[in-house]
């Protein structure tokens, strides 16, 4: 086995699927053969003039007794294999229009259900669930577990995106994983994942790695989040902020209405005291009385309006509190989850002796080990 570096010339991609070329430098050249079964693993197509490093075995072509190199790995010199594959696919999909901003879908402002495509054991899924529940507890989260790196991961991710489009009971989906090397994140640079995101009828948020990591799925997705945690913050609003905004608007409306009333009273007073209105005092008296009646009715109406709005806000707050998991805990209930998966235990059939569990209370948590299981 040898490694040889040189420049490709006389490159031929035969109809049989085999590739033939010469590798040369300023002093010598050698003929090379890349058989079809080896060429299927290439992430880029070689070209004449490209400087590459190849790995292979020296053989002899019996027909003319000439030495040749049977190639089974080929890497662009000075550029990593994954980097050149990324550039090639990026250019291809860009030319096909998969990155066009005009075709990207908007993310719903108040989603009722969110799908998540990621590893079920990574930190990313825990951060996403925690942040979404803290910001808007009533939102439903549906997790589609997949492998996010290694052989077959890209196909699993693409299939999960397709499955959510068949399921249809979500408003938006987050596709991603936590940080890692270029090799770790490579599944999100695969063409299968890019096309699945492009064909999705459900808006997709790409949340891969850290802020400095860029993948092809980021370009195709309807929205790119720098991290999975950021995706969770972007996909739902903060209910506390919404309530504060509502209360601010009600106070502004109250102030505006009282200003209108006071302005009307002052204007009426000015008209009443004007020279033209002092003589027909009886008309003024009648209209003043009528105005007092209207003012009283208006004031009552304003008070009733704000009482209704205040009751509505209070009802909304109560509903939010009822939907909050913490309110259930405060009534003396607890949540039991299996460690380390943090899956909620709904049936003792999901446990066995010596399993570790976490009990979440209204204040604090307890970790313990299962010593005995009594079926109901």
Q: What is the pLDDT of residues 242-259, one digit of tens each?
A: 888 888 899 899 989 999
Place of tokens 């805990």: 329
Mean pLDDT: which of 133-137, 170-174, 212-216 is highest?
Answer: 170-174
What the block records as the tokens of 6 is: 């040189």
Residue 271, CA atoms < 13 Å, CB-side half-sphere: 12
pLDDT at site 328: 64
Of the chain, the percentage scoring pLDDT greater than 90 comes to 44
For range 313-331, the mean pLDDT:
72
Does residue 79 surpass a pLDDT of 60? no
pLDDT at site 323: 67
pLDDT digits (tens, 9 = 90+) for 264-280: 988 888 877 776 666 66
pLDDT band at 80 (very low <50, low <70, confident <90, very high): low
pLDDT at site 109: 92
Q: Which of 255, 260, 254, 256 is nearest to 306 (CA)?
A: 254
Does residue 115 surpass a pLDDT of 90? yes
List the chain domain ranges.
2-79, 86-235, 239-319, 330-369
pLDDT digits (tens, 9 = 90+) for 158-184: 999 999 999 999 999 999 999 888 888
pLDDT at site 221: 96
Give φ, ψ of 8 to 5 degrees: -75, 135
Which range, of 8-12, 170-174, 236-240, 311-315, averages the lowest pLDDT? 311-315
pLDDT at site 329: 65
Does residue 370 surpass a pLDDT of 90? no
The model's pTM is 0.52
The CA distances from residue 43 to 38, 60, 75, 94, 219, in Å, are 11, 28, 10, 17, 19
CA–CA separation, 136 and 7 (whole Å): 59
Structural domain 86-235, CATH architecture: 3-Layer(aba) Sandwich (3.40)
Mean pLDDT (the chain) is 87
pLDDT digits (tens, 9 = 90+) for 84-103: 778 788 889 999 999 999 99
Bond before 340 cis per omega within 30 degrees? yes
pLDDT at site 336: 82
Residue 200 CB neighbour total at 10 angstroms: 19
pLDDT at site 327: 67
Three-state secondary structure of the chain: CEEEEEEEEEEEECCCCCEEEEEECCCCEEEEEECHHHHCCCCCCCCCCCEEEEEEEEEEECCCCEEEEEEEEEEECCCCHHHHHHHHHHHHHHHHCCCCHHHCCCCCCCCCEEEEEECCCCHHHHHHHHHHHHHCCCCEEEEEECCCCCCCHHHHHHHHHHHHHHHCCCCEEEEEECCCCCCCCHHHHCHHHHHHHHHCCCCEEEEECCCCCCCHHHHHCCEECCCHHHHHHHHCCCHHHHHHHHHHHHHHHHHHHHHHHHHHHHHHHHHHHCHHHHCCHHHHHHHHHHHHHHHHHHHHHHHHHHHHHHHHHHHHHHHHHHHCHHHHHHCCCCEEEECCCCEECCCHHHCCCCCEEEEECCCCEEEEECCCCCCC
Residue 294 CB neighbour total at 10 angstroms: 12
What the block records as the tokens of 89 is: 């696919």
pLDDT at site 301: 84
pLDDT at site 187: 93
Place of tokens 């105005």: 291
Angle, to 10 degrees, between the axis of helix 191-199 and the axis of helix 81-96? 30
Place of tokens 């929205």: 223
Which range, of 180-194, 202-216, 285-299, averages the lowest pLDDT? 285-299
Length of the chain: 376
Burial 74-107 (b: 16+ CB within 10 A, else e): bbbeeeeeeebbbeebbeebeeeebbeeeeeeee
pLDDT at site 320: 74
pLDDT at site 280: 63
Side by side, which strands form the sheet with 113-118? 140-145, 113-118, 172-177, 204-208, 223-224
Residue range 2-79 in CATH 1.25.10.10: no
pLDDT at site 326: 67
pLDDT at site 245: 87
């Amino acid at each position: 086995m040898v490694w040889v570096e040189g420049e490709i010339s006389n490159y031929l991609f035969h109809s049989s699927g085999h590739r033939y070329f010469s590798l040369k430098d300023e002093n010598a050249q050698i003929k090379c053969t890349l058989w079809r079964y080896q060429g299927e693993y290439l992430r880029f197509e070689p070209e004449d003039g490209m400087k590459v490093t190849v790995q292979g075995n020296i053989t002899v072509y019996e027909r003319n007794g000439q030495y040749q190199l049977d190639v089974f790995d080929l890497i662009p010199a000075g550029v990593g294999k994954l980097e050149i594959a990324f550039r090639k696919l990026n250019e291809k999909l860009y030319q096909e229009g998969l990155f066009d901003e005009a075709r990207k879908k908007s993310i719903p402002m108040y989603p009722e259900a969110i799908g998540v495509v990621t590893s079920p054991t990574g930190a990313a899924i825990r951060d996403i669930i925690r942040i979404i529940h803290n910001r808007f507890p009533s939102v439903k989260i549906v997790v589609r577990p997949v492998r996010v790196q290694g052989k077959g991961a890209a196909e699993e991710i693409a299939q999960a995106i397709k499955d959510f489009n068949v399921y249809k009971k979500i408003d938006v989906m987050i596709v991603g994983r936590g940080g890692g090397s270029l090799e770790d994140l490579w599944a999100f640079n695969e063409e299968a994942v890019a096309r699945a995101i492009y064909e999705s009828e459900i808006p997709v948020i790409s949340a891969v790695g850290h802020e400095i990591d860029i993948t092809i799925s980021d370009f195709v997705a309807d929205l790119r989040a720098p991290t999975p945690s950021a995706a969770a913050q972007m996909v739902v609003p903060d209910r506390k902020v919404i309530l504060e905004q509502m209360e601010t608007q009600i106070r502004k409306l109250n102030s505006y209405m009282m200003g209108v009333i006071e302005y009307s009273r002052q204007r009426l007073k000015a008209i009443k005291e004007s020279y033209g209105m002092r003589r027909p005092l009886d008309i003024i008296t009648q209209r003043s009385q009528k105005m007092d009646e209207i003012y009283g009715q208006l004031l009552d109406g304003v008070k009733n309006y704000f009482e209704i709005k205040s009751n509505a806000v209070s009802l909304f707050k109560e509903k939010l509190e009822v939907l909050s998991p913490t309110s259930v805990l405060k009534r003396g209930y607890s949540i039991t989850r299996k460690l380390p998966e943090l899956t909620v235990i709904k049936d003792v059939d999901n446990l066995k002796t010596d399993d570790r569990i976490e009990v979440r209370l209204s204040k604090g948590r307890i970790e313990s080990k299962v010593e005995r299981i009594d079926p109901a």
